[in-house]
Structure 1
């Protein structure tokens, strides 16, 4: 067990989930006592289409999270060569392998044009990299010309440059866009996500999921939250301000921020491992990367107490680093 003597409660900054979740409300009893009505699922699809910029509800497949969609979407093309633009989630490689593809991760965007299946997270996790919409459309056309498929995971596009989304560009086929509800709305536990695709692909995916794929409470929360434009706009502004605050706090301790989104910040530095350990000793969990030991990712603190504890832990790390330099 890491850091068994760390003070409680833990502050978990290892995720990219909004620490200020959408406020829960009283759900109708039927959301729990009855199977979900097909009409309610169609309503959620329509609401999601409007929220995400898809042409119509026929382009949208609600699902119990994007995790369950990934291998199904990867199976839309015959098993062949899959390439994932990395570094990014390991789960995308696993899903493509489940679908029978030979999978390779690359940091070279141009190499994706040689794949049968190309997977891009946009904006990327963990570094916040954004690939321009025009470049994605050109790649999709290349893949489509020989029966290939482009998957774009837009899990963090709610806090990204919305103009770069491909949600409105799926009509011609060859593109599937994935949307995660839980990250921006801070409700990962309800398990809700969407595939956005041409009507034919969307219908195929919907058939695979079958009836009642999305639970009644998730349907109600999704419809309510996705239509709440005021909350979304206010939250985007709040998160942007808190990301700037985190950048300033890290910079004040000589910790360079290299990228990220307004839900997480990405750090690259020689002493990342030592910083991770000091934070852990103070009961604060950042996201470290075994394969990239000089990188860390920080989520946002949830309240002033967490901000204060993070500040104190960073001050302790900086003091210890200064003492180590003086002893050399």
Structure 2
């Protein structure tokens, strides 16, 4: 079997497990391979003009104003909307001269790939102190997939060091919505600090393709020029503005996700070691990870595996009681030895 590089590819799941139950209506695949909220923001009515007219600069400014207020940035001039965080990850390496890049890992692999493809000298390290030697440092906080957190003071010190040498600290906060207290968004505009925020994961609308970069106004202006006009779609502007302003929904969702994560931990812990994660996904460790992956796939349950860490699996949140029932049945007898489904 070829090891998947990203979650969410049910086509790959069906190719790997052609005999898995997939009766579409009766027993469809359960996709637990992503860290996307399975209870999405209720999409409001979208003005017809969002589909028929080019996105207006005023609508973009309104969205960036909403993002600044939601994230706690001091000024919307420090915020630029992008068509997804992945797009920003691919653009950023082209905004800096070729140099050395250190990524705190293991983490989301697209950071390494994007900087390397842009001609930078890239390395991965597990030691946050080792990031100081590079021109550019990249940290995912909270980290994907293990939920590791970086100290705020260390991050701000790194940003200052990178600024002195003409580089930057890139902090990917794609999963920070579930723990906003760890975000550096209130420091947006600090020289040498570039923050990435994802919209689709927490709001459960990944197909909308919307994200944000928070940085010094000169840098956000450079990125906006690099993206060109109409980078964010009209429907993303309308839905994003409504969702980012809905603080009541956000607070309630954080509570709901925490409860759902606790329920998933209770399901996984009897048979595997829950090693970390966030309220949107859980990382487990087991020497039998390939066997568990196979067993779940045969039962029509798709989870995230890792080629470089074959003892890891990542589970997203099951969307309903039926999904929990099928997951528990596929994992086997919880009374069996830890890490050994029976």
Q: TM-score, normalised by structure 2?
A: 0.91
1:206-285 correspondence to structure 2 within 5 Å: 206-251=224-269, 253-285=270-302
Of 163-172 and 133-142, more deviation after overlay is shown by 163-172
Instruction: Find the partner of 1:198 among 195, 213, 216.
Output: 216
Q: 1 CA distance for matches of 2:261 and 2:325?
A: 15
* Runs of 4+ deviating beyond 6 Å: 317-325
Aligned partner of 1:29 among 37, 48, 54: 48
2:314 corresponding residue in structure 1: 297
Match of 1:120 in 2: 139
- The answer for the alignment partner of 2:97 in structure 1 is 78
- Which residue number in structure 2 is paired with residue 173 of structure 1? 191
CA 1:146–1:210 in structure 2 vs 1: closer, same or farther (change >3 Å)?
same
Within 5 A, what are the aligned runs for 1:143-162? 143-160=162-179, 162=180
Would the alpha carbon gap of residues 83 and 46 (structure 1) be closer, same or farther in structure 2, given more than 3 Å must change? same
**1:77 CA displacement:** 2.5
Larger deviation: 138-147 or 260-269?
A: 138-147
Local SS of the residue matching 1:151 = strand
Count of matched residue positions in the alignment of Structure 1 and Structure 2: 323
Give the Cα separation in 2 of the matches to 1:77 and 1:300: 37
Alignment match, 2:25: none
Matches within 5 A, 1:12-51: 12-51=31-70
CA distance in 2 between partners of 1:322 and 1:266 (Å): 13
On the 8 A contact 1:173/1:201 being kept in 2, the answer is no
Q: Taking structure 1 as reference, are residues 281 and 54 closer, same or farther at Cα in structure 2, changes over 3 Å only? A: same
Partner of 1:11: 30
Query: Are the counterparts in 2 of residues 72 and 99 from structure 1 also a CA contact under 8 Å?
Result: no
1:312 alignment partner, one of 309, 321, 329: 329
Tell me, yes or no, if the aligned pair for 1:75 and 1:99 is still in contact at 8 Å.
yes
Taking structure 1 as reference, are residues 321 and 259 closer, same or farther at Cα in structure 2, changes over 3 Å only?
closer
Alpha-carbon distance in 2 for matches of 1:82, 1:159: 28
Q: Secondary structure at the match of 2:85?
A: coil
Assess, with a 3 A threshold, how the Cα gap between structure 1 residues 319 and 151 changes in structure 2: closer, same or farther: same
Q: CA deviation at 1:319?
A: 6.2
CA displacement 1:107-132 (0-9 Å, x = unmatched): 11111000111111000000000101
User: Where do 5+ consecutive residues of structure 1 fail to align?
Assistant: none
Name the CA distance, whole Å, in 2 between partners of 1:125 and 1:266. Answer: 9
Q: Report the equivalent of 1:57.
A: 76
Q: Is the 8 A contact 1:18 1:186 kept in 2?
A: yes
Q: What displacement does 1:324 show?
A: 9.3
Q: How far is 1:170 from its partner?
A: 3.0
Question: Hey, what's the Cα distance between the residues in 1 that align with 2:341 and 2:172?
Answer: 43
* Shift in Å, 1:141: 1.2
Shift of 1:74: 2.2
Question: Does the 8 A contact of 1:73 with 1:176 survive in 2?
Answer: no
1:125-159, CA deviations, whole angstroms, 9 ceiling, x for partnerless residues? 00000101111011111111211211000000001
2:19 is aligned with 1:2: no
- Aligned equivalents of 1:169, 1:323: Cα separation in 2: 46
Write out per-residue CA displacement over residues 63-84 of structure 1, whole angstroms, 9 at most, x where no aligned residue.
1112221233223321011111
How big is the shift at 1:315? 2.1
Deviations 1:231-283 (A, max 9, x none): 100000000001000111112x3311010000000111111111111111110
Matched residue, 1:106: 125
TM-score when scaled to structure 1?
0.94
